[in-house]
Structure 1
């Protein structure tokens, strides 16, 4: 890998740059089942809404966003409060270099600090790279939704991967991301930033 990497919290001002990364996934792939590239203002709203509860992270190289990762609520019922679905998107310039895996690990670390106990990855199949990523990070297959999404003229299967962080005992309420101690967040981001740059 070339250049200096950094992981930081996303801000609404990142919307246009992150949308540039996300748009090709919408237009050219079935990785996301979204059909239409949203306006930047709408995407900024998504960042703000997500970041109020969960981590929303940006991967930069030499100050330029090259990827992002975030978590969001899995289901609406209260019993699912300790579950989160994760997503990561990378620009072609950094794909296949290990940076995405480190970014994902940082996201998982922060979620664990919040008290999130069950993590889920949703993968449009086939997607060997994403399947390898989840397996390498300790996720296990949790089932397949067959022909559940229609995009680009055909049906797609969706595979689910899960990772357990907590035990079987009663959990405490999760801590909203913004309520974690700022120093703890920054130390975590710095740890994984150093990890990426050590892999160069």
Structure 2
């Protein structure tokens, strides 16, 4: 079923479609800690800002955007340059068709080309799953090679309840001693949508 899904790099004009995917997660779940849905303009700015440094990829089925993934800095400090945080969202009514794993495969490969060695996902986690949060994201990340690195207990409050957050990590490559090559900003890789067909 994965061949039904195609990938391409996001552009700022994807903001409205991406917002429509994210909106129900904000309004109806504790998957994201945001209380308010960002505007289309804010999404446009986020896409633009991300693409200055990292990949932002969308998945499509039948010509419609059904999911997206992007990387962002784990920390503004230079010593953390070789680690990045990831975010992924799939339209809720089209999950389980392979889009998530393909998005991660593409993002991971491009991050490696940039010299990023570690990926981190910050994931909402419920001690007891409820109508606002099931731990599907943690299970998905574990299935694609992430492992739990840390847990913060009752760290955010939404819908009148407290939830945990876990950090999961995936090491993409070795960690040699000595001088590391600088991380290459995404635009300098000169990748096109054709390059995503490999994933």
Fold match (TM-score > 0.5): yes
RMSD of the alignment, in Å?
Answer: 1.7
The answer to whether the 8 Å contact 2:18/2:67 transfers is: yes
Q: CA deviation at 1:105?
A: 1.4
Is structure 2 residue 194 aligned with structure 1 residue 186? yes
1:66·1:93 contact (CA, 8 Å) conserved in 2?
no
| Distance in 1 (alpha carbons) for counterparts of 2:65 and 2:3 | 12
- Following superposition, the deviation at residue 6 of structure 1 comes to 1.1
> Counterparts of 2:9 and 2:85 in 1: how far apart (Å)?
18
Matching residue of 1:16 = 16
SS of 2:140 mapped into structure 1: helix
Runs (4 or more) in structure 1 with deviation over 6 Å come to none
- Structure 1 residue 147 displacement after superposition: 0.8
Determine the C-alpha separation between the residues in 1 that align with 2:135 and 2:28.
17
Q: Aligned residue for 1:154?
A: 161
Q: TM-score, normalised by structure 2?
A: 0.90
CA apart distance, 1:143: 1.1
Q: Against the structure 1 CA distance between its residues 3 and 190, is the aligned structure 2 distance closer, same or farther, given a 3 Å change threshold? A: closer
TM score, norm. by length of structure 1: 0.89
Residue 145 (structure 1) aligns with: 152
Distance in structure 2 (CA, Å) of the matches to 1:181 and 1:40: 27
SS across alignment from 2:174: coil
Q: Gaps (5+ residues) in structure 2?
A: 127-133
